């Protein structure tokens, strides 16, 4: 549930006219940063009695590459799943990929489970760092790191962070991500990253993603690449845990195309 006096956060890309109007009216935008908007507002999201405060863009009027400034439907669905299954996340090393504003990771922190949030766009990362810093200042610890999928330096830095000076081989127990499946081109780098950073030789480690299905071809490619990278998968019906009344959107057409999938490494004989 979203608490704010303003309109609910937008869910879709703006029209060309909306983008033009926003560019003319917003002082934070410049010719060099077409459609760049940093007019963030404070929002409170609440699910099942748990709430977080975060800074977000008030609508989806943003640059094509900066959709991480807003809250998207799948982040809300995945957050509800996490809260309903929070015991599974306790005492785990958790990484959120494609965090954007950090909804899921911030809720984990509020539940008392520190985690590492990540993104690759510098503008989005600045916003993510702000939300992480405010969460930590409020007593709900988490941190963030730059992670460009498939970038070896970024992946190595992330792996090092997972070690926590415990002399382990490193790796995360769980990796989560919402609305990180858009185009086929991003799927191989995603699985390369997940495969590298998710703990090996641990049958309980898993990658959980929730996203809006936009293309059957892309959906099939996602599962094909999962298998090729050594993962099996399980779909979780979202209606088994979802409380629609807590969402900031209520379109059946949107809810009906949201998939939640759990990936686990295929057991070796």
pLDDT tens digit sequence for 93-143:
999 999 999 999 999 999 999 999 999 999 999 999 999 999 999 999 999
The two beta strands, 50-57 and 40-47, are: antiparallel
Domains of the chain, with CATH numbers? 64-265 (3.40.50.150)
Task: Output the six-digit token pair for 87.
Answer: 């015991």
| Residue-level pLDDT at 29 | 40
Whether residue 160 is predicted with pLDDT greater than 60 in this model: the reply is yes
CA 220 to CA 228: how far, in whole Å?
12
Q: Which pLDDT tens digit goes with each residue over 31-55?
A: 345 457 788 899 999 999 999 999 9
H or E stretch covering 3: strand 2-3
H or E stretch covering 65: none
CA 193 to CA 243: how far, in whole Å?
32
CA 42 to CA 228: how far, in whole Å?
42
**Least reliable range by pLDDT among 3-12, 118-127, 182-191:** 3-12
Q: Are 56 and 39 in contact (CB under 8 A)?
A: no
- The vertex-266 CA angle with 264 and 268, nearest 5°, equals 140
Q: Are 156 and 163 in contact (CB under 8 A)?
A: no
């Amino acid at each position: 549930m979203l608490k704010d006096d303003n309109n609910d956060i937008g869910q879709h890309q703006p029209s060309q006219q909306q983008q033009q109007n926003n560019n003319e009216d917003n002082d934070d935008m410049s010719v060099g940063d077409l459609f760049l908007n940093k007019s963030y507002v404070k929002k409170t999201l609440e699910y099942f009695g748990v709430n977080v405060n975060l800074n977000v863009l008030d609508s989806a009027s943003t640059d094509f590459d900066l959709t991480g400034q807003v809250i998207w439907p799948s982040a809300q669905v995945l957050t509800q799943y996490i809260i309903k299954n929070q015991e599974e996340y306790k005492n785990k090393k958790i990484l959120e990929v494609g965090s954007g504003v950090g909804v899921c990771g911030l809720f984990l922190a509020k539940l008392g489970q520190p985690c590492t949030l990540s993104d690759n766009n510098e503008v989005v990362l600045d916003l993510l760092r702000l939300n992480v810093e405010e969460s930590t200042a409020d007593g709900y610890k988490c941190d963030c790191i730059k992670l460009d999928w498939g970038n070896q330096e970024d992946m190595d830095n992330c792996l090092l962070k997972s070690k926590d000076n415990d002399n382990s081989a490193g790796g995360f127990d769980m990796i989560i991500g919402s609305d990180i499946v858009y185009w086929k081109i991003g799927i191989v780098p995603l699985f390369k990253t997940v495969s590298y950073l998710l703990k090996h030789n641990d049958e309980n480690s898993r990658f959980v993603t929730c996203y809006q299905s936009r293309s059957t071809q892309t959906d099939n490619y996602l599962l094909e690449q999962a298998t090729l990278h050594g993962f099996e998968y399980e779909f979780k019906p979202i209606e088994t845990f979802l409380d629609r009344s807590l969402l900031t959107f209520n379109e059946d057409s949107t809810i009906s195309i949201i998939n939640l999938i759990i990936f686990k490494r295929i057991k070796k004989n």
